[in-house]
Structure 1
Amino acid sequence: MRYEIRSQPLTLYLCHCKECQKQSSSAFGMSLTVPRDALVVTRGQPKAWIRKADSKREVKNVFCGEWGTRLFHERTYSPGTINVKAGTLDDTSNLLPVGNLWTRSAQPWLTISEEMLNYEGQPDDIHPLWNKWKQQSS
């Protein structure tokens, strides 16, 4: 599968919820939020399944139908955006996350930077993450 992001991302954060830990087989998942209409699948046919997030909201998980790699997720409460799983990008060398979500589930050995925006759970307002990303990208 191949996809393109045809606009600038809105933010990049790390999610430490138990589901992201399981799905990434790591300590956290990376979410690169982009406008929904900026993400275009150019090759392959994705598949999806819907789950309840730790926040109790529905999340549509989209993955490669051939290899099973999780590619992005759509949140019913934010239909104008989509979160790309940043580890699937061709080049991740310039990625610099601005925040951490679900820190109460973070692995105890992981150091959370105080320079980032940090939330114990799901933030009520995601715009501070967007603003910090804009400041960092300028």
Structure 2
Amino acid sequence: MNATYSGGCQCGQIRYEIRAEPLTLYLCHCKECQKQSSSAFGMSLTVPRDAVVIIQGEPKAWKRKADSGREVTCLFCGDCGTRLFHERAYNRETINVKAGTLDDTSWLRPVGNLWTNSAQPWVMICDQMLNYEGQPADVRPLWEKWAQQHS
């Protein structure tokens, strides 16, 4: 894999780089991710927090409670509104990059689905992925499955 990945918001005001290999990629079907993505799910690319470098612009932030009850800080472009990152108060060592903001998404292959109990009824959940009805207590299986796919 590449080891440096670039991305940004729709209007180009914010640009970032990921300077390490991602840890996992999953789809989240919670109602908040459906709302923020204006779609059936959100994509979260988990990476080490210190690997994300903002090279242009300054994201705005707001906090909300996730369906799990945990606090999430949502970072977005103040001009076009594109959601870029989710920081979780309970895990400061990683950050979730909203994977659709990457310049090249052709290599992305999610390994799991979270919050399948609130997935849209027309979404087909693949049984070859790791699937969780809600928030998994342990995310290590998602990391392990990602590592297997990219070794």
CA drift of 1:65 comes to 1.9
Gaps of 5+ in 2: 1-13
Q: Confirm whether residue 133 of structure 1 aligns to residue 149 of structure 2.
A: no
State the partner residue of 2:57: 44
**Superimposed CA distance per residue, residues 3-23 of structure 1 (whole angstroms, 9 cap, x where no aligned partner):** 000000000000000000000
Structure 1, residues 112-132: CA drift from partner, whole Å, max 9, x if none? 000000000000000000000
Q: Residue 52 of structure 1 aligns to which amino acid in structure 2?
A: K
Q: CA deviation at 1:133?
A: 0.2
Unaligned runs of 5+ in 1: none
Query: What is residue 66 of structure 1 aligned with on the other side?
Result: 79
Secondary structure, in 3 states, of the residue corresponding to 1:31?
strand
The equivalent residue for 1:86 is 99
1:124 aligned residue: 137
- After the TM superposition, list the runs of 4 or more consecutive aligned residues in structure 1 that deviate by more than 6 angstroms: none
Taking structure 2 as the reference length, the TM-score comes to: 0.91
Aligned partner (choices 104, 109, 112) of residue 96 of structure 1: 109
RMSD: 0.4
Q: Which residue of 1 aligns with 2:3?
A: none
The Cα shift of 1:66 comes to: 1.8
Percent identity between matched residues is 76
Equivalent residue in structure 2 for 1:111, among 96, 116, 124: 124
Q: Distance in 2 between matches of 1:44 and 1:92?
A: 22
Displacement of 1:39 in angstroms is: 0.3
Cα distance in 1 for partners of 2:76, 2:123 equals: 27
1:97-126 CA deviation, whole Å, 9 max, x = no partner?
000000000000111000000000000000
